[in-house]
Structure 1
């Protein structure tokens, strides 16, 4: 059984991106028999993030979870054409090769199609700097999400795109591939 780490970059307690991560995590556990762990930026002590305490017990535990994982899924809302600063603060204090040789599936949510390229111009370069192998990301409009449903993604095209990328993600983990289809 492989471990997958889900990172929610939302500072909100009830975020759409976290709902999507929770759904995908449950699906990966149930259908694919992966072990899954969640990292929520809003549960990390603020002092650790604000003061860059890379040697805090919480940050060491997070780093260990990610280093031992076979793959990572990051979901984040778009704030002002980028990911939230709290997500950047977390990634900044982790080891610089934290995603080395891991498939990383980025997902972003936002209220406007104007931020469609936020994954390409903000999140994917950060994943690359951390030595991860980024899959093609999926951007989901808030209007394509209903958090009242088990599968919060209500748009059929987005569902298909998520399924396709999850398939690539699982294949990359199982085969140990680091050459991921774009």
Structure 2
């Protein structure tokens, strides 16, 4: 399975970017190919002006087009996904997610932002043709504690919710269980 992950965080060391990468580690052995798009690393001018002739933008859009599973990770700001993610999603063709499985992931300061997955992110994913959207996973800052190595440590409840969300892709018995190793990534 070709998996493309999209990180819509403007911060390099963000919880949402880490959670997006961590979800990929839970799918090791399932992915025949995986690509990661850190939207913050795309060239700003072409991203802002929707320059589809820019090679980096073209590669990122093609990575989504070739995926069977798309993981979309974002921090929640003011009850919505990041503006950076919105810029990238606006570059995608209207049916870019049709026929793909989509896993929405989000992080926020408190559980008060939990519904942003359902009321802000899922509608735009549906507008892009997504019909098979896995259960979204939302994590609060408290559920992703900083690890001394620079990563984060997911609490057991978050880990269980992520594994449940991934069950349609990979049976629970095959989901990678090496949490300690993965926290350091």
- Matched pairs, number: 169
- 2:12 is matched with 13
Instruction: Give the 5 Å matches for 1:92-103.
Output: 92-103=90-101
Instruction: Give the 5 Å matches for 1:78-157.
Output: 78-132=76-130, 133-148=132-147, 152-157=152-157
Q: CA RMSD in A?
A: 1.8
For the pair 1:64 / 2:62, whether they are aligned, the reply is: yes
Q: Distance in 1 between matches of 2:129 and 2:62?
A: 16
Q: Distance in 1 between matches of 2:41 and 2:145?
A: 24
Secondary structure in structure 2 of the residue aligned to 1:121: helix
Q: Which structure 1 residue ranges, 4+ long, deviate > 4 Å from structure 2?
A: none
Secondary structure in structure 2 of the residue aligned to 1:168: coil
TM-score if structure 1 supplies the norm length?
0.86
Normalized per residue, the structure richer in helix is: 1
Change (3 A) 1:167 1:149: farther
Uncovered stretches (5+) of structure 2, i.e. residues with no partner? 172-185
Superposed displacement of residue 168, structure 1: 1.6
Q: Distance in 1 between matches of 2:30 and 2:145?
A: 24
Change (3 A) 1:90 1:33: closer
- 1:177 is matched with none
Q: Distance in 2 between matches of 1:70 and 1:33?
A: 10
Superposed displacement of residue 33, structure 1: 4.6
- 2:181 is matched with none
Q: Distance in 1 between matches of 2:138 and 2:76?
A: 9
Q: Distance in 2 between matches of 1:83 and 1:41?
A: 13
TM-score if structure 2 supplies the norm length?
0.84
Superposed displacement of residue 149, structure 1: 7.4
Uncovered stretches (5+) of structure 1, i.e. residues with no partner? 172-182
